[in-house]
Amino acid sequence: MNELLKLSALDLHKKVQTKEVSPSEVLEAHITRIEQVNPALNAMVEDDFVRARKLAHEQTETLAKNNSDLPPLFGVPFTVKEMFSYQGMKRTGGSIHHKNDVMDWDATVVARMKKAGGIPMGTTNVPELGFWFECFNPVYGRTSNPYDLGRTCGGSSGGEGALIGAGASPLGLGSDIGGSIRMPASFCGVFGHKPSRYLLPLTGHFPFEQNDFRTLLLDQKYPYTSMGPMTRKAVDLAPMMKILMGSDDIDQHTLKNPTMEELSQEWKGRKVLICPNPVFHRARGTDDEMVQVVKNCGKLFEELGAHVEELDPRFFVRSAELWFAAVKNSKNRNLYETLMGPTQHLSIGKEILQLTFGKGNYTLPNLLVSLAEIFDTRKKDFTEEMQALAKMKSDLDEKLGADGILILPPHPRVAPKHRAPLWSPFDFIYTAIFTTLGHPATSVPMGLNEDGIPLGVQVVGPYMKDHLTLACAEFLETTFGGWQPPKNL
């Protein structure tokens, strides 16, 4: 593997700035890797290589004249989850009803990456409508895990996870409502950060248009979706956050002028909670190997003088019902209405039957949830659940204090085999609950198991203390090795 493919974005930028390599050389190394691995992974669904090469050439010429005052990602390629608006590229959300949608504007986070000097290389695969933690849709098909092609890469930012995990992109843009950044990051052995709620603008994310933020996405109807960075090196997370966060004056909920404290590696006296084997209603228990990596973290921090405590494993037991209540309470439309698109007489039963014959225009998880919505005629009053969610948040805040962190598994097992999540559909709750609670959470790779599949932990911090989880990610990377290139690609 080309050595450039093993470096952080910060190191790539430094090499470009000092003229050790050109932006074009960095870009070509990654394009070559994408062309090498993508036929097996199906992670990049639309490339933007022509424009990327043009921009890299222009940056190379700029560098020949001046190498001072360069923006922080100058010369660094990146990739974009297909659910972001990206000028000149499709935004289908994996839906047949949007398969020809080409965007003429950039999502705010895409625009900010470009302004920072980043070179976009293309878009990456998602599940249908971004709903499900396997990466498959009727427009682009299935994406596989770079460490085992028979396993899922996760979802919904699965294409990003797979491409970054394969060493084909140094960093990318993901989004997260049920763990859609953290699960694929964990499955594919890379870093992913779900920021504190309201830190990054949602503008440009599927299915919303710019005007929606002034008419639909108000007050309690604002989605729980969070934008966030995915990287192969932990050191790139904080710089990306500084580039991406803050209001764009379109998404009215985004904090106006947020700041991030400096990352500190002083752990003595710090409160560290661990929850190696949390209990969630409807979800399976944690596999021993995932339990052990959390315990390894606890032991490490204890040796460093931190105050390590074990959180009651039943603290999050109601998470599934509370997450569903919060998401339903904030919805502007049912999944069924979004799935149906312009088709007014969708027969879900007929579509499910077609799937049994390998046909159909929709995926099974979306059809099953849509069917449940149609027959669910109960009164939608989530007052009790929202109060319980608020209490869970308050209780967690009290336990974390001002500068504590919580370490727990991001999933009960390593990346499952393709289609296996259908038999354990609520396992996403390990990550999902922190989206509705609003806390920052970072997925950190913790080496490979005996089968060569990535292990990982999830680090959670107090609201608006993203620097704590990012600092922990950098520390764990130096101790346990971080991302390791897959050997089978």
Q: Which residues contact 378 (CB under 8 A, 6 or more apart)?
A: none
The Cα–Cα gap between 417 and 291 comes to: 20
Q: What is the mean pLDDT of residues 127-136?
A: 94
Instruction: Residue 116: name the closest of 130, 105, 106 by CA.
Output: 106
Q: Which of 180, 186, 247, 330 is labelled catalytic?
A: 180
Cα separation, 476 vs 445, whole angstroms:
8
Strands 141-142 and 148-152: unpaired
Q: Name the nearest CA neighbour of 41 among 138, 175, 135, 120.
A: 135
> How is domain 3-480 classified at the CATH fold level?
Amidase signature (AS) enzymes (3.90.1300)
Residue 343: per-residue pLDDT: 53
The residue-averaged pLDDT of 63-90 equals: 94
Q: Per-domain residue ranges for the chain?
A: 3-480
Mean pLDDT of 390-404: 98
Read off the pTM. Answer: 0.95
| Cβ atoms of 444 and 476 closer than 8 Å | yes
Residues paired with residue 47 on neighbouring β-strands, in sequence order:
122
What distances in angstroms separate CA 223 from CA 74, 103, 292, 390, 477, one per listed residue?
A: 32, 22, 34, 17, 32
Distance CA 54, CA 3 (A): 23
- pLDDT given at position 33: 98
Q: Which of 149-153, 156-160, 358-362, 415-419 has the lowest mean pLDDT?
A: 358-362
**Catalytic status, residue 90:** no
What are 35's two structure tokens?
A: 């062309």
- Give the integer Cα–Cα distance in Å for 117 and 286: 41
Q: Which position among 156, 157, 186, 226 bears the catalytic label?
A: 156
Percentage of the residues of the chain whose pLDDT score is greater than 70 = 96
Question: Residue 337 pLDDT > 80, yes or no?
Answer: no
Q: Are strands 271-274 and 144-145 parallel, antiparallel or unpaired?
A: unpaired
What's the chain's average pLDDT?
Answer: 94
The pLDDT tens digits of the residues spanning 193-228 come to 999 999 999 999 999 888 887 777 776 678 999 999
The tokens describing 205, both together, are 């994310």
- Banded pLDDT at 331 (limits 50, 70, 90): confident
Whether 330 is catalytic is: no
pLDDT tens digits along 183-194: 999 999 999 999
Q: Indicate if 268 belongs to the active site.
A: no
Q: Quickly tell me which residue has 């040796």 as its tokens.
A: 303
Higher pLDDT, 478 or 346: 478
Q: How confident is the model at residue 352 (pLDDT cuts 50, 70, 90)?
A: confident
pLDDT at position 345: 62
Q: Are 173 and 160 in contact (CB under 8 A)?
A: yes
What pLDDT does 325 receive? 93
**The one catalytic residue among 81, 114, 194, 233:** 81
Residue 43 in tokens: 């992670």
Residue 334 phi, psi dihedral angles, 5° rounding: -70, 155
Strand partners, 272: 308, 405
pLDDT digits (tens, 9 = 90+) for 255-266: 999 999 999 999
